[in-house]
Structure 1
Amino acid sequence: MTIGFKQCDLYSKAFATDGRSKEAKEAVNRLVSALDRFRANAEVLAEDVARTIPSLTDHSIHHLDALWTTASQIVGEEAVLNPLEAFVLGGAFLIHDLGNAICAYPNRMDDLAGNQWDDLMVKNLTLSLARRPTKKEISRPPNEVKDLVVLQRLRQEHANACVALATKGIHEIDGTYIPLIEDREISEQLGRLIGEIAASHHWSIEEVASKLDRYYSLTGMPLDWRVDALRIALILRCSDACQVDRRRAPPLRQAVLKPEAESRKHWIAQQRLNLPTVRRGSGVLEFRSNQPFTVDERESWQIAFDLVAKNAQKELVHSNELLKREGRREFAVRGIAGSESVAQFSRYVETEGWIPVDVSVQITDVANVVDRFGGQALYGENTSTPIRELIANAADAIRARRNVTTGGRGPSEGKIVVSLVEDGRGWVLEVVDDGIGMSQQVMTGPLLDFGRSFWTSDLALQEHPGLLASDFSPTGKFGIGFFSIFMIAESVSVTSYRYDRSQSEAVTIELEKGQLTPLLRRSTAREICPVGGTRISARLGEDPWTERGIVGKTSITSRENALASLVASIAPTIDVDIHVQVEGRKPVEAVVADDWIELSFPQLWSRLSDGRGGAMKATIPNSVRFDRNDRCLGRIAFHEPDYSTKCAVTVGGLMAGWLEGACTGVLLGTTELMSRDSAIPLVDGGLLADELKKLEDAESNLFDRPAVHFSAMMR
């Protein structure tokens, strides 16, 4: 009996034998036979996808077959593939999702382990627990978290498994392989190409263009049967993106697999979509719902919109643009009906009892948002706040570089330089670090995405595997600190490149207050950090040495020392060296990494108070140092009444607030506040009170003061 997909135009025309020579007919029959055996082998693996990840919508042989009919719609009736192209396309259809089966990996679960596994485990446990997990929790995660990590790792790796599956097959226990492509000559000559085309559905469109813009042939086949690898890859890409209808989510299969709640939303989204049709002569693929989405199904409707109107539309547009640019014939289908807006899409994919609205958040006026949310409303009127946020970002970059290069266990390498320079247009603040640096993708993505932190993004997991699971704990968590620079600056430029890449990859982004479109350009030699890292240059709106400036009026005569004192008070317990520089003169040391642990109390108090806290006697006999696991968590002293009774709390080495009470000094802390203007000490409150009581009892003149209480206040 003829299998249904073989009757579609794309397949039937490609493998038709009418009018061909005897040799060509034999070649066609050989390819059809090889593809049939290939399909039978792939069917066995495809069933293992459901066993491995039951929450996924259908990835069985039915999905792989259905790609032929979707591809026929996309390329159009007039498009014809030669038999060799059809074989390669059919093979890519069969292989492209088989990496979602655990049996596709020689060492099974062991092949999913490593840095990426650890990163995802930490990320998902952090989301589940609302805190960073302990090592015990990471090693013994709940089953639902482990299953989620398995799913995410397979989604990461499944495309990477394609080449091995096409060229080798399935790994046996005895070390041998069972080939999926049984025709050895075809496997040897075309296996890698089939695997690469299959894998390319997870590449960027730019990668497809650069890696697959070439032609292939097969020994013994007619010379005019050349494989246009680029066109075949784009057919696969668009077919896979558009094959998201009810064929992918059969109700009976859902009843058997019983996907959990979140996955069920995806099943419903696709169950409600009928097979798409092509508007004749319009170049538009039209999806319609077979029944309306109810109020309770509105999240599923949004998923359907994202799958069809966003993702499928994007792939069709980008693929046709690439075909046109490279001189190939464009597809008959060029877009999705209703993709212009949720309102238009809801005309085809209907709802009942509710009206879809576009709820995506866009920052169209960054300056206004910073002023109202990320500026004074969030940070107050403290003009040093932007410096604190830039230092925090720079320190995170240095800590990240330590962890990816030495596991965070090496010496405190890394340095931040804060400088002020005047040119013909006014004053410029620069903060330069030799940290991990940013790729162009990061600079044009998470950096400019207000409210999104790079460190917890999927892009961070891709670019720096193992970082999230290391001891690295970023101070910046909310993705808004960088934008605080517009509190004091009229324009900002950011220059960066990754520490492990060439200087030729350095790019600069320029942003102006009130300007919606940033400028991206290649960096100049002066802007580039010699060993990787980031340079941020901000043109200030006020003279930094005036009352409204970032340094302000000060009794310190040397501008270098005044800036150094300010920076040290902003980052009193930081684990990174910070130097300051004014007008290109010799840099001055503001902070040495972790030097606060050994400073005398008068020196420590002077740093914490930016030199404005008054004198403190040279020796303080009664003091306490809190240590845990070879880490100093704070230093406090009980002192005479005429001195300040405030104790600083820092987060990530940066000043976060003050505690009122009968002690002075500094405690390391933690905070979940975006403004970081108060914090909870890491030292247990009971332990802190006990130690203060001991100090109080040891004093000859007891003070009429309460024990420390934890009400924070910013200076």
Structure 2
Amino acid sequence: MHLLEHHDLRAYYGDLIGEIAESHHWPAHRVAETFEHRPVNAPPFLAPANWRVDALKVAFLLRTADAAHIDSQRAPWFLFALRQPEGISQSHWLFQAKLGQPTRTERGELRLSSGSSFATNEQQAWWLAYETASMIDRELRAAESYMRDAARPTFAARAVEHIATPEAFATNVRTSGWEPVNVAPKIGNVAKVIANLGGAALYGDHPDVALRELIQNAADAVRALRALGGIDQHEGKIEVALSRDADSTWLHVTDTGIGMSRFVLTEVLLDFGNSLWSSDSLLSEIPGLASQEFNAVGRFGIGFYSVFMLGKRVKVTTRRYRRAADDASDQWLLEFDNGLGDRPTLRRPASSEELLRSGTKVSVMIDDRTLENVLFASGHDPFSDHPDLFYLDESDEDITEFARFTRVVASLCPTLDITVGARIDSTEVTVVKPNDWQTLESDELLLRLYPSTAAGVPLNCPLIDLREDSGLLVGRVGYVKGYFAHGITTHRGISSGSLSGFVGVTLAHNNSDLARNTSVPVASASAWKRCAKQWIDSTGHPDLEVLARIHPLIRDHDLPLYRLDGATLTKGQLTERLASYTELLVCGELDHDESSDDISADKFAEHLELRDGIVFIPIDTDELTESLGLAEINYVRRVESALKTAWRGFDRWKDEEAVIGEVNGIEIVREVMRYTRRAS
């Protein structure tokens, strides 16, 4: 059965009907551009007929009539009582039930009025009525403007009466017991808010983060085109380039992705806080993408604005994979000459600026100081200030600008599934191949992850595959001694933070914070456990500090984590050794204390001699185990368990301070727990 039973009418007008119906959720400019030149003559079977269908007029007529259809006939009280709607539905029903029939004033305005007033407990319904009336006003004004521009007669109603302010609207839609004053949050200086929330105030003094955001946007664009079938799953490329002339240096990020229409470039990209991938515009702009289960990395709609951390002159050149129906050009160029201080310019690119294939090119003029900050970026590299953790094979001065540039680019997208190239003028190299992180040698991968360490082999550390039970590779990790051992986390290939407890890289969930500095690994606890076991088996006897970091992952293993009288012992070995003791002090693992130790940290680490008769235990839970939801291991209870077995009974005295060792004759004092053996 068909809503339009007449076959000939349905066959002749069906496409137009469907298109006009779909246009209800389009932006008004697209409606105008799509239907302005679409007059449809009467079908032959109705001849003779001298009339035609004006698609533009019909589209705007249905659009505005549907928007303005709010009155009590649509929301009768009897059905309200039967259905008892809640929440926003209740407010919608309530305000429509109070509204009377719309009328037109002599000034060509649509008058909306209510018979009864809105009480204090009906404020939300009143504000919803005002917001809906404002929406109707926008639709009427848009229809007026576009139909006049298209040389069409305009509608008799051109706006909504008394819509300028809530107070004015209350003239016809009255309130009782309260005043409709608009106290909603306002943004007076939009440019300042964008600069603060989309730049250094959010990301800190790290201009390399802006480059990361541009690479992330480029990756989303390439994956979107893959999802649509525009290119194969292994195709697509991102290029990060520097170009110089006599007066300036430009940084370019170019992708061969989906590109943007004029509307997306000017309306969505510049709408701060609105991401295309999560907006309603996605359905009309890229039909079919949502059904492909495409998941973008970007979701906050603020990453593009970080580009102004790099410079004020910015150009965005784009070529959509398929020209939008309402676009007058294949390509567009949006140009900012003075950052957010002035309005940008939209134009068609010159022949020398055009892209050869679909995609987007973001170019920013960058000064020497900012470029230097990018080239020496530490990003999420926690080793940058601690070269003692590395084995270097070349001096910092030996590294060329090109080498620095390529390393920084690779570090921002170390596990990407898209080819990434880096170029300075005519010198070009591929820095990331799709998913090559899975097969790189350990030293190559570590150098990619920690670029600010200068050069050479960053860590003499083999990496172990982090795999799920299914065999899925979700990371490559290793463990080293040092408080600053932090691994890099990535989401969909883009660097997304760091996490203490290991070195290497692990895939992670999408960031929950705007600055994208923290993310949680996707690997399960069983995958970490398996990896930790393999690490211990492959390294023999790792450092005690490393063992303490790994232990929560394999808590059922009795590792040598207890130090007593110069020996490192397992719990079983400790139990045997304690049988000959009658008193014992227990102290947490040692760190240098600047406030109480009258020596340097280096001397403390090199020359500390511990007293006998004291068990030293690890006490801190690592950030990694916390992120995995693993409970802290209570080593005090484990020592007390060993004491019960060795002594049968013991007394624990109040915690006290005691000398636990010395450095070059200087006593080191720490708080300890004292235990004495109880007589049989």
TM-score, with normalisation over the residues of structure 2?
0.69
- 1:529 maps onto 2:355 in alignment: yes
Q: CA deviation at 1:448?
A: 0.9
SS of the aligned residue for 1:490 comes to: coil
1:464 maps to 286
Q: Is the 8 A contact 1:365 1:516 kept in 2?
A: no
- 1:397 maps onto 2:238 in alignment: no
1:386 maps to 210
Which is further off, 387-396 or 299-308? 299-308
Q: Is the 8 A contact 1:692 1:707 kept in 2?
A: no
Aligned positions of 1:140-539 closer than 5 A = 165-166=3-4, 169=5, 179=6, 204=28, 205-207=31-33, 209-213=35-39, 216=42, 231=57, 234-259=60-85, 261-279=87-105, 281-310=106-135, 312-352=136-176, 353-357=178-182, 359=184, 364-366=189-191, 368-405=192-229, 410-501=232-323, 504-511=329-336, 512-515=338-341, 517-539=343-365
- 1:665 maps onto 2:504 in alignment: yes
Letter in 2 for 1:559: E
SS of the aligned residue for 1:575 comes to: coil
Deviations 1:389-442, CA, capped at 9 Å, x for gaps: 000111111111111117x9x542111111112234422111000011111121
Aligned positions of 1:575-654 closer than 5 A = 575-582=417-424, 584-610=425-451, 612=453, 616=457, 623-627=464-468, 629=470, 631-639=472-480, 641=481, 645-654=485-494
1:559 maps to 401
Q: Is the 8 A contact 1:678 1:712 kept in 2?
A: no
2:495 maps to 655
1:568 maps to 410
SS of the aligned residue for 1:520 comes to: strand
Q: CA deviation at 1:278?
A: 2.8
Matches of 1:288 and 1:432, distance apart in 2 = 54
Which is further off, 201-210 or 380-389? 201-210
Q: Is the 8 A contact 1:568 1:607 kept in 2?
A: yes
Q: CA deviation at 1:614?
A: 6.8
1:701 maps to 541
Q: CA deviation at 1:624?
A: 3.5
Matches of 1:604 and 1:198, distance apart in 2 = 53
Q: Is the 8 A contact 2:399 2:455 kept in 1?
A: no
Structure 2: segments with no counterpart, 5+ residues: 379-395, 551-621, 627-680
SS of the aligned residue for 2:126 comes to: helix
Matches of 1:688 and 1:190, distance apart in 2 = 62
1:609 to 1:214, Cα distance in 2 relative to 1, 3 A: same
Q: CA deviation at 1:612?
A: 0.8
Which is further off, 190-199 or 395-404? 190-199
Letter in 1 for 2:122: E
1:633 to 1:361, Cα distance in 2 relative to 1, 3 A: farther
Matches of 1:220 and 1:519, distance apart in 2 = 50
Matches of 2:445 and 2:526, distance apart in 1 = 24
Matches of 2:163 and 2:99, distance apart in 1 = 15
Deviations 1:174-201, CA, capped at 9 Å, x for gaps: xxxxx4xxxx998888888888777766
SS of the aligned residue for 2:352 comes to: coil
Q: CA deviation at 1:690?
A: 5.5
SS of the aligned residue for 1:681 comes to: coil
Deviations 1:296-345, CA, capped at 9 Å, x for gaps: 433333332232222x2233223333444454444333221122233322
1:694 to 1:227, Cα distance in 2 relative to 1, 3 A: closer
Q: CA deviation at 1:465?
A: 3.7
Greater relative contact order (CA < 8 Å, ≥ 6 in sequence): 1
1:707 to 1:343, Cα distance in 2 relative to 1, 3 A: same
RMSD (CA atoms): 3.6
Q: Is the 8 A contact 1:426 1:543 kept in 2?
A: no
Matches of 2:459 and 2:13, distance apart in 1 = 80
Matches of 2:54 and 2:466, distance apart in 1 = 70
Letter in 1 for 2:521: P
Q: CA deviation at 1:229?
A: 6.0
Deviations 1:62-108, CA, capped at 9 Å, x for gaps: xxxxxxxxxxxxxxxxxxxxxxxxxxxxxxxxxxxxxxxxxxxx6xx
Greater helix content = 1
Structure 1: segments with no counterpart, 5+ residues: 1-105, 107-163, 170-178
1:415 to 1:230, Cα distance in 2 relative to 1, 3 A: closer
Matches of 1:186 and 1:390, distance apart in 2 = 50
1:500 to 1:319, Cα distance in 2 relative to 1, 3 A: closer
Greater strand content = 2
Letter in 2 for 1:682: V
SS of the aligned residue for 1:555 comes to: helix
Q: Is the 8 A contact 1:613 1:644 kept in 2?
A: no
2:623 maps to 710
Matches of 1:189 and 1:637, distance apart in 2 = 68
1:298 to 1:441, Cα distance in 2 relative to 1, 3 A: farther
Matches of 1:637 and 1:248, distance apart in 2 = 66
> When the two structures are aligned, how many residues end up with a matched partner?
527
Matches of 1:627 and 1:219, distance apart in 2 = 67
Matches of 1:339 and 1:625, distance apart in 2 = 61
1:361 to 1:472, Cα distance in 2 relative to 1, 3 A: farther
Letter in 1 for 2:332: V
Letter in 2 for 1:704: L
Identity %: 31
Letter in 1 for 2:426: R
Q: CA deviation at 1:552?
A: 6.7
Letter in 2 for 1:288: S
TM-score, with normalisation over the residues of structure 1?
0.66
Q: CA deviation at 1:528?
A: 2.8
SS of the aligned residue for 1:421 comes to: strand
